[in-house]
């Protein structure tokens, strides 16, 4: 931390560049807090727009100041920082030279610059920034603590994916300062008014096998493949359901999302058996995905009507599934 301060001057204008996921957003914000009175100006800029509604909810509810990098005059800034990534991760950053790099992804090639702190021993960069704050005896505001807490929560996937002693320590510390209601609202913000009409469509189109605890939905044309994921997850929350398969057509292809409770089931192998020969398909026990370009179906289907596609998908899934004892019936 001392070393970081030693490379900065009060006249410095600092630009912090991020790819906006919760870990990066919260880490950049903490760095801004740490350096607020140490330099002249600090701007946090994102390389790419985030479309994830939970991330947008985080930015909005916690009032995190972010700007698009494309709208900035980079020459205005005297120092450049990047957190939770390294410059070589993004081709558009290769021409820039960074003064500060703080990250937890393992270093691929040696980086020569004024300040580098890479700690693969942290499950999240937010852990590292929490440690910086503590070492400087800065108590985070509720919003900043909530952001960092959420950053660690998502990067470690609630400590199911990874998470070290240091992550747990930071998490426990931040817990004293967070607002849990905001965390819940951020985490559950996955739908917008623009896409809830697909629920209505799905309720009308769903085909349920009561006997085999399965549900299949073909949505027809969709304007975002994420809705298949949201609906497949949603249907798996139904007590009687242990398999859910939601499909739709997007641009020049069919998207099929599989979810299962994973108990003696394998969504990945079902997806592969059903669609592996005519598209890309794969996944693991609980979740899988297939994408089938229309171009590959030209010899198999007379026309691409909703009804033709629906019965084609159902046929492929049922045929593949019968080898696993998977039979889909409509009621």
Binding residues vs Mn ion (CB under 5 A): 23, 84, 125, 155
Minimum gap (Å) between residue 31 Cβ and Mn ion: 14
Minimum gap (Å) between residue 91 Cβ and Mn ion: 20
- Cβ burial, residue 290 (10 Å; 0-12/13-18/19+): buried
Whether the CB-CB separation of 282 and 256 falls below 8 Å is answered with no
Closer residue to Mn ion, CB minimum distance, 152 or 255? 152
Minimum gap (Å) between residue 158 Cβ and Mn ion: 15
Q: 86-95 long-range contacts, Cβ below 8 Å, gap at least 24?
A: 86/111, 86/118, 87/111, 89/19, 90/19, 90/47, 92/47, 93/17, 93/47
Whether the CB-CB separation of 186 and 61 falls below 8 Å is answered with yes
Closer residue to Mn ion, CB minimum distance, 118 or 206? 118
Minimum gap (Å) between residue 105 Cβ and Mn ion: 7
Closest residue to Mn ion: CB criterion: 23
Closer residue to Mn ion, CB minimum distance, 27 or 260? 27
Residues with Cβ within 8 Å of 6's Cβ and at least 6 positions away in sequence, in order, are: none
What are the C-alpha distances in Å from 170 to residues 9, 123, 134, 173?
29, 11, 9, 5
- How many whole angstroms separate alpha carbon 16 and alpha carbon 153? 22
Closer residue to Mn ion, CB minimum distance, 39 or 129? 129
Closer residue to Mn ion, CB minimum distance, 55 or 316? 55
Minimum gap (Å) between residue 90 Cβ and Mn ion: 14
């Amino acid at each position: 931390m001392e070393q970081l301060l030693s490379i900065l001057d009060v006249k410095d204008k600092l630009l912090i560049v991020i790819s906006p996921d919760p870990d990066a957003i919260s880490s950049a914000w903490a760095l801004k807090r740490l350096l607020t009175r140490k330099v002249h100006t600090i701007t946090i800029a994102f390389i790419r727009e985030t479309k994830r509604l939970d991330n947008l909810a985080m930015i909005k509810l916690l009032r995190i100041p972010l700007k698009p990098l494309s709208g900035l005059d980079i020459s205005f800034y005297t120092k450049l920082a990047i957190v939770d990534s390294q410059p070589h991760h993004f081709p558009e950053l290769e021409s820039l030279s960074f003064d500060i790099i703080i990250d937890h992804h393992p270093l691929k090639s040696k980086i020569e610059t004024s300040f580098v702190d890479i700690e693969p021993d942290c499950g999240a960069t937010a852990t590292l920034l929490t440690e910086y704050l503590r070492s400087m005896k800065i108590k985070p505001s509720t919003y900043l603590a909530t952001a960092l807490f959420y950053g660690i929560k998502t990067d470690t996937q609630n400590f199911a994916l990874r998470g070290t002693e240091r992550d747990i320590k930071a998490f426990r510390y931040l817990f004293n300062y967070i607002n849990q209601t905001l965390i819940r609202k951020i985490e559950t913000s996955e739908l917008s008014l623009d896409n809830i009409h697909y629920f209505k469509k799905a309720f009308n189109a769903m085909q349920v096998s009561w006997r085999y605890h399965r549900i299949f939905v073909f949505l027809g044309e969709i304007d975002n493949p994420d809705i298949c994921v949201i609906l497949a997850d949603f249907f798996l929350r139904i007590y009687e359901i242990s398999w859910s398969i939601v499909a739709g057509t997007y641009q020049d292809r069919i998207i099929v999302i599989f979810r299962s409770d994973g108990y003696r089931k394998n969504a990945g192998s079902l997806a592969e058996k059903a669609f592996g020969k005519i598209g890309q398909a794969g996944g693991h026990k609980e979740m899988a995905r297939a994408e089938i370009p229309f171009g590959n179906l030209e010899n198999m289907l007379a026309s691409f009507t909703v009804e033709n596609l629906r019965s084609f998908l159902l046929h492929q899934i049922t045929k593949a599934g019968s080898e696993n004892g998977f039979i889909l019936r409509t009621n």
